Structure 1
């Protein structure tokens, strides 16, 4: 079976105004700050063959303390810790790529 690519926009009305912040700044939303979780949600959806919404990836990121910078940039700045966290998410969601 061929899996289809999924496209999510962080500006989607279903989640763009939801908070994505660890400081309580109301201007920090999925629509303004969650490029990394949105991109990850697309990739995870493809590899898992099921919907992984940006809200799910954003919640995971916030639970790990990522919420003020674009997740990918922040991960790079913090010695690749995001890779470790996404490995945990990968285990939680299923074995991506298998």
Structure 2
């Protein structure tokens, strides 16, 4: 029981949270690849189909909603702060 008190201190809660978020992101990407990637075939019937040239399905997978959302935006996290410090007045 003494070892549980060693690990469950308030100082390690942010570490547990960050590791939990990282594991969640990895799990989300794994599920996304297994369920929607056109090159991944889980069932035996789909694997027997061989190589498919289904470009529309591949384009739909590659151009997901997040990529469409950020396509025409500036590649900056806080553009107003960056412009304030970098652009001369």
Greater relative contact order (Cα 8 A, min sep 6): structure 1 or 2? 1
Report the structure number with the largest CA radius of gyration.
Answer: 2
Higher share in helix: 2
Q: TM-score range by the shorter chain?
A: under 0.3
Normalised TM-score (structure 2): 0.25
